[in-house]
Amino acid sequence: MAVYPVARTEEIPEGTFKIVQIEGRSIGVYNVKGEYYAINNYCPHQGAELCKGPVCGTTLESQVYEFIYGRDREILRCPWHGWEFDIKTGKSLFSDKVRARSYPVIEEDGQIGIVIGQPKQREGTEGC
């Protein structure tokens, strides 16, 4: 396990993100409502650069013919096929088994660090 310093907090204001390179991996560091999250810049479906996709909200679980918009700015949508991922966990919104890799983030003294190599990380599943 190692913590990689990647940015100062002021470099990634709320609602923005930064792409960083760590040991050959491209990782997007997102500031969602004041909290930082790190997600692999690689879609588990066909390998698009996930972080080129829009950050958005989505429709929440609802009754038939009811549309409830929510989770605004918490969802990352793949730029190719529109798959939705929860920025906080990397999980896709359609299956627990499909996820983009996410990394723990540590914020200390205005410094953002990404933790690589924790055993609890899970790989993204193969799309096709």
Give the binding site for another protein (CB under 8 A): 46-49, 52-54, 77, 79-82, 127-128
Amino acid identity of residue 87, one-letter, is I
Contacts of 83 (CB under 8 A, 6+ apart): 43, 45, 77, 92, 94, 98
CB of 56 to another protein, least distance (A): 10
Nearest to 44 by CA among 121, 125, 128: 125
Judged by CB, which is closer to another protein: 37, or 83?
A: 83
Hunting for tokens 């692999």 — which residue is that? 40
CB of 53 to another protein, least distance (A): 6
CB of 1 to another protein, least distance (A): 27
Judged by CB, which is closer to another protein: 52, or 88?
A: 52
Judged by CB, which is closer to another protein: 9, or 58?
A: 58
Q: How many angstroms separate the most distant Cα atoms in the chain?
A: 48
